[in-house]
Each structure stands twice: as C-alpha cells, then as structure tokens.
Structure 1
C-alpha cells in the first residue's frame, strides 16, 4: 500500500467486485493517468471477489506502485466498500467510482476543472453520462456501448460552462467534499449490498444545508448494473427492501422519473443561456436534451399531452433560437 501524495486534491476510489476483465480492468485503464498527476490519488478496493478478480487487482497494484490497493476479505456492500476506500483518502474531494464506468479522454481534467470552480456551498458534483436515473443522463438511443465514450469525449470538447442544480446525485461516479463526507459519516451500511444508499446520502447532504450539482462538462460512460445483474430475484428483493428503508427515513422525499431531471436541467441551461449568452456548446447540449425530452415522453396519450403542455415554453424558446432536437452523431475515429 503506497502513501498518498500530500498535495492530492482529488482521491479517486474505485470499487471492484468480480468480472475484472469486463469492469475493473477497463475502468482502471482509463484512470491510469491519475497515477502521474500530483493533484490526484488512485485507490482501488476489491470487495471480496471470489472469481479471481482480487488476484488480478493485486497484479495491477504490483505493476502500478502508486496505486493504493485495499483488498477486503468479504463483500462489504457498496456502502461498506466505498467507506473503506474513502477512509484512507487524503484529497479535498473524494470521487467514488463504480468499476462499470469508463473515463473518456479529457474526463479527468474536466472533472478537476469543474471541482476547482464550484462555490463553497456545493459539496457534491456528479458528471453526465449515458445511463443514470436522473438529470445526469444524456441518452444515446441505439448507440453501441463501444462508441459511447467517443461521443462523450466529443461532447466535452464543446463545453457549456454549466453546473446544474440537482435534487439527488447518481453514484455511478460522484465527487464529495471530504469534510462533508466525514461530517455525514459516509454511506450507510444499513443498505447492505446496494441500492438507494446514494439517494439517502443525497438527501442527508441536502438536509445538512449543502448543494449538489451536475457538471455538464464532465462525461463518464456507464455500462450499468454490472455488480447486480447475476442476482436474479434477489436483486428485486434488495431493491424493495432498501426502497422501504429510504421511505421510512425520508418521509418527504420524491421519486422523479428521469425525464423530470432532464427537463429541469434543460430549463436551467435555457435560463443561464438567455441571461449570459448562447454558446455553441450550450446550443449543442440543448439540442441533445431537447431530443431526450421528446424521446422520453410518456406512452399514455393523456400523460404525453400533459407532459407536452407543461413544457411548451421550452419548445417555444428553443424554436425561437433555431435549436432543433438532435442526438449527437458518432464521429468516425479513422
């Protein structure tokens, strides 16, 4: 176990559990640059893998001396595993990273740049992605997973400059101020293997008086559900149990469809652009989120009509600016 650099501003904690070749290995390959950056430290936690992945993590740690590797004897669950990694973090910010994510070229510098400019009251920052349950999602219909990172990298080359307020943050990848993480006691292990501990933390962070935002200029690709896909019916049982626990703790919480988060993010984009100017990056992002607004409409005719009526002002504003709904195209790399 190597010592963290004293000047590290960002501690990246990657939680690994089984399937090294399809999750942790590719994820860590995209984060290798963090080992040579004095602003960052890289921490890898293996959560009691029993399929040989722990050995592969050990081999990786042997090749990368700067990597801080923390093998766990048993599966501590998402909360327990992340808490173990965060406990040794030295950075001002702790970034929790699911092993089923990929950092496209430019994502880590973009994250560091976004964290450097957030206001003091913002204690949690999440990137945008292809798969999430809130406004962080920028959908890519029919795009193969092997092309998602390229689209995300291209999007980051057209920055918006936006930090979008959000009701909750999805923990596929999230940066939290270490002081606030410690104040809140990290994630709650009561949620067991996983599900809804991120929602619980988001609400506790809000209750403590801190804000959370979406960094529109940071894209991290998300494969999704890699750790739970083999659980079968136990996965749904775990989700039901933890949802009930969340409702018991937070009586005033609200569950929002992902389309609501996208609409809120689009409204914020429009408000900022109308007051400070429409840049090329903002116009491209507005076209993307507008396409998502249309693509994600309710199937019920009445609900679809009501949804369109509620957001008719968005359509009018974008039409007046000549912005049409459009998903990004894949740019050939050859």
Structure 2
C-alpha cells in the first residue's frame, strides 16, 4: 500500500489494535512514514476504547533522524495538548511511557518527529500495570530525582501527593530505568543494533549481489594474513570468514612465520588444497609481523589489498562493500570501515562507530585500524611494511601512504566489517598487553611529522596509548586579542581575567572587554580599573543584548592577528591553553580551534559540538565525569569536529572576517557559533577541538537559561528555523559522528 497524502484509514496491524489515519505533514510508502516536521502526526482510533487505569504505552520505532515522540490522548472529548504523553527510549530502541488514564481512551495522536525524518513503527502496545510494577516505577523515579538534587526530589514528592490525592487525574511520565549509557545499557543497545540494522545475508544478500553484478568489472581483492602459531579454531574461523564473502573475486595470501605447531601447518595445507584462491608461503625462519606481511604481499596480485589477523574475522559483506565504495569514486585510495570485538563465545561487543576522515584524530591514534583497504599499487610504492616498527607497523604504513595522497583520498565506510578477536594476549582485549606498540607508535609519528614537514613535537599521553602533536609557535608569536563580552558580572569577570593573567604562558596578548549596558556600580568601577591597565581595553556596547553583534564589535576593534573569543564566565585551568590553541589556529588548513570545558564540579560541559543532536546541535560527552577518556579516547585527544562552542574559540582574524563573522540579524543569542563553524568549514577549513586547553565554564550565569523563559524559548525556535533554512541537509549528518549513534544525546550510544 502506497500513499503520499494524509487521510489514509487502515487497520494498524499492531498489538494495540485500532485504525490508523495519517494527519497533516505525514506521508506513507509501504511500511514507512515520512514526517515533514514537528507537527507531522498519525492518529490511532480504538473501538472499543481502552479502559482507564495505570498502563504502559510502548512504541517499537525505527527512524533515520532525531526522534522525541509524544502522544496526545483522546478521552472522548477531543485532543488536549495539555495532556501530552512523553516517552523514554529504552536500550532496545523501544519508546516507553507510564500513563494513568482517567477514563476510556478513544484514540491517540502520535507526533514522532522534531525534524523532517522517515520512521517505521513495527509495533505499538498498551499493557496494564499492576501494583508491584507501579511500586517499582515509583522507586526508580524516587532514586533518579534524589540523585538530581533536593529541588528535583521535592518536586517529585509533590507529584506523588497529587497522584494519590487525585486518583482520577491524568498522569504521564517517562520511565527512569533506561538510557543511562552504562556498560550493560550499551551492550543491550548494540545487541539490538546487530539484530535490526546490521547486514543479514538472508535478508540483504540478494540486494548486495545485484549491486555487485552491476559493476562493469570485478577487481580482485588481496587479503594479507601473516600467521604465527594461532589456535587452529581461530585460524579456521578467520579463513572461513574470507571463504564466506558475498564478493567472490578475492585471493587470500597467507605467510606462515615459521609456526611450530604441526596442526597449524596441517590446517594451512588443508585450506590451500581446498580453494585455489588461497595461497600460502611457509617462511623458514621467524621474521615477525612486518617481514611476514611482506612475504604475503609478494603473493598478491589484486587491485585492492587489505589485512586480516590470523584470529579475527571479516563480516560477510566486507569485501563487497569496499569494492563498491572504490567503484563509486575513482579518487578514493583508502577505504576504512567500522569494527567491533568478538569474544571466544562469538558474542560481538564494543563497536567502534568511527568518524569520517579526521587527520588530527589520526595523529592522536590509529583509529582507521580495521578494516582498512588500499590500492595495492600504493602499498607496493610505499615499500610494504617497514622493519623496526613492529606493533605499529600498520600505523606506519598508513602514514607513509597517506603522505603521498591528495585531499579527499581517504574514505570512511560506516559499516561494521571487521570483528577483532578479544582473547588473552590480543590488542583487542587490552592495549596494555602490547605496550611495545605504543613505543613503536611514537617513533612512527615522530618520523611521519619529520617527513611530512609538520612543525610539531610528538609526545605520548602519560595515561593512555595515544599521542599529542604539540605545534610549535613562531619565534615571535602573533598578538592575540582576547574578546570577552559582559553585562555586569563582577565576580565572573574578575575570576576570568584573573585566571588569564595568572595562568597564561603565551607572551603576546591583549584583552578586550565589551561592556553591554552594565549598570552595577561595583562592576563599573572594576571595569574602569581594568581600562587603566596596560593589557585590557574596555569598550562600551550600549545596545540590546546580541551575542553576535557584541563579538563582531570586539573583533573589529582587535589589533591582533589572532582572536580568542571567551565568555565572561570562564576560568582558565592550564597555563599553555593559549599556546596550544594558537599553535593549531596558525596551521593554514585550520579555521577554528575549540577547548575542553568543565562544569565547576568537574563534569564535561563541552567536548566539541555534534551536529544533529536534539534535532539541531549539542555538546559531545555532556555531563560525563571529567576524568573519563570518552568514547574511544575522544575526550583526551585532539580531533576534527564540525563545530565548537563560541564560549572559548581561537582563530585567525582574517578567517573570521572572510566568512562574515557571527550572524547578527537571525542568530543574536544561540547557534551563532555553530553557524560560524559551518561557514568556516564551507570555506574549506577544518575545525579542531583540543583537550589540552582546559577551562571551567560557569554556563549562562549572567543571563540565565533560555528554557526557563517562554520568550527565550520562542526566540530559540526562530533561530533553529533559520539554521534549517540556511544549512538544510548539513544539519542531518555530522561527518564526525557516526550515523549509527543516537541523536537524543551526544553520548555515543548505539542507535538501537
């Protein structure tokens, strides 16, 4: 059944029963719906109606964008917007709400979208809640609100009193049990992701084969496998995963590195005899991983080349998808995929849903890792694997090949195509088991920086198997103009400027304080004192608050080649913060640099900005404990992102002016920093976020939070509408945040 307009009336086919009607801004094609915006809706009518009482409403829904569903009940008197039912997403991907129905439920109007999106509802159900379940819900909410603080708990107690005192009152709330992002929660989500979203040969194999058959030619892929005394069970599983590939034009090039186990030799001979595509060379003496890989390379004849460890496995669609990716764009020279780990029982866990190509993240850790596919000619031209960097030989090969490639040659394929076996002694289980790899990695990056002419010193991180590129400043560092807007805020300005003066080792800066209609006598006296000092200028801005206009004014008055934009409620934590940010900002390819911001209690306030979070943009790793490393180390290493907060950013003044600065007319308060960063990226520059510039952000202390004021909320909606009109599809896909991660928050949770 296909329709493109509202008004269709049909049985739902869901457990809840009823009949389905498409309302405004909603279309349907087969099982999938298309919502044109937040007002898009479907209606379900029940005949007979559901009787009143406590119940759960669950919606098993897939969507391709940010969803925050809410349902409006009809108790026989029409829809009442004041009685919206909120839903919480469980780790399994199901949305659940607890509701007390004060009377018979005749229908529900479901509004699933916050932004235009496609969605599919596989089931909806309503279940009665008994007293035991109800007490459990109450206990979870009590604990949840207690942890939030006294105000939240008192509010919760008031709601409980209202529920008890008015048994016929409508009540609806989210379940507090799920969405914590803890280890068990993440695994449940990933199990659900594998079941719903990963490649299934029975379901997806025919479509993939049709894409392969449509290729004008089918190049051979050479799979390089060095072998040294593995468990035969794991070796067999690894080879079988190649034999089971949907794409048949491959050759498996195995170099046995003088294994001593007879069963390993027997297994290799068995496989070689069974399939002509399997080639084996037996080395007479052990040469270790690089020499063994080069021996296997000598067997290779394919157009493309990849590596498989002797105890890991490939996903069945791995080679097909990589060949198709190369065929889609001749400029691609390296294709890399996502990966996960697999235990001895075959259970998959810890997926690494990677960002698209991020040179600064690559300089911090080899996140490309598995599966990486090259053009074989590039590997041969680089000389294969280098002796003397064992443990980081793949990192080294990537560096040497990438040094020769033009921009745009490295392509990310956001599919889990490699399963890394996590057994004792493997890097998959614990990096600490191969610390020699970290030492080798440091050598690799130091030599890479020297060959590529990168003006940076490379250091290992003391507590992690990652690295830091410390970009050198010129002999005479350029003047940096630090622009700080404020209205009153004596305590905060004093703390901010005091911390700059006390904790900045950068030798050449000025401070420009933009006073936006301050009227506090003590603050004005302090500002006058600052204005008499050699390092601070105070400039009045006697106009209504407009963050964009204030900062544009400050930049216009700046004398420096570099500008640093700081909110007045910042406190510097490390002395080399400005040296770090300027070092990056002076790089010709970098347009803007952001910092790592903490709340006063140490939690993360800003780990960069992810586009699409909450339907627009949100801060990465928000509220995470400050000592954590984040998702695959992304809170402790420099990386490229789509945007960073305007609360603390550094850039060259010429770039700020080139892209037109902040948008004053339409983005006077919020989202101006995201807009600025997107303009910078559109101009061809990259954005860098660095954890080595750290500050405390006393967020919005001088203005309050927008969500507390109806007028501010309305203004924010207008700003979001402007962003959608200007940036459109750009807001739907952040290249540095996997499409397999949910957009409810930037916690890097798998999208179930």
Scaled to the shorter chain, the TM-score interval is 0.5 to 0.7
Aligned equivalent of 1:239, options 697, 703, 716: 716
Relative contact order, higher structure (CA 8 A, sep 6+): 1
2:484 corresponds to 1:14: yes
Which residue of the partner structure matches residue 126 of structure 1? 594
1:171 to partner: Cα distance = 0.9
Inter-partner Cα distance in structure 1 for 2:699 and 2:594? 16
Backbone CA RMSD of aligned residues: 3.7
CA distance in 1, matches of 2:505, 2:605: 29
Q: Within 2, Cα distance between the matches of 1:134 and 1:192?
A: 17
Deviation at 1:68, TM superposition (A): 1.1
Where does 1:1-334 land on structure 2 (aligned, <5 Å)? 8-21=478-491, 23-33=492-502, 38-52=507-521, 55-62=524-531, 64-106=533-575, 109-117=576-584, 119-129=587-597, 130-132=604-606, 134=609, 137=620, 139=622, 141=624, 162-191=637-666, 193-229=668-704, 232-254=709-731, 296=747, 306=751
| Preserved contact between residue 555 and residue 563 of structure 2 (Cα < 8 Å) | yes
Q: 1:88 to 1:295 in 2, by over 3 A?
A: closer
TM-superposition CA deviations, 1:227-281 (whole Å, max 9, x none): 4416622221121111111111111222679xx96x67xxxxxxxxxxxxxxxxx
Specify the structure having the higher radius of gyration (Cα): 2
Q: Is the strand fraction higher in 1 or 2?
A: 2
TM-score (norm 2): 0.30
Q: Point out where structure 2 has 5 or more consecutive residues left out of the alignment.
A: 1-475, 598-603, 611-618, 629-634, 739-744
More displaced stretch, 196-205 vs 125-134: 125-134
In the TM superposition, what is the alpha-carbon distance from 1:115 to its structure 2 partner? Answer: 2.3
SS of alignment partner, residue 557 of structure 2: coil
Say if 1:194 and 1:53 are closer, same or farther in 2 by CA, change over 3 A: farther
Report deviation, 1:196: 0.9
Distance 1:216 1:236, change over 3 A: same
Q: What do the CA deviations read for 1:26-71 (whole angstroms, capped 9, x no partner)?
A: 2121112489964211111111223447514423415633211112
Structure 1 pair 134/62, CA: closer, same or farther in 2 (3 Å)?
closer
Deviations 1:95-144 (A, max 9, x none): 110112111132xx233134225531101000112213626755555x7x
Q: Secondary structure at the match of 1:253?
A: helix
> How many residue pairs are counted as aligned between the two chains?
252
Q: SS of 2:662's equivalent?
A: coil
Contact 2:504 2:574 in 1 (8 A): no
How many angstroms apart in 1 are the aligned matches of 2:551 and 2:683? 21
SS in structure 1 of the partner of residue 651 of structure 2: strand
Residues 194 and 227 of structure 1: is their aligned pair in 2 closer, same or farther, counting only changes over 3 Å? farther
Deviations 1:192-231 (A, max 9, x none): 5400111111111111111111022111221212244166
TM-score by length of 1: 0.64
Distance 1:46 1:92, change over 3 A: same
Which has the larger share of helix?
1
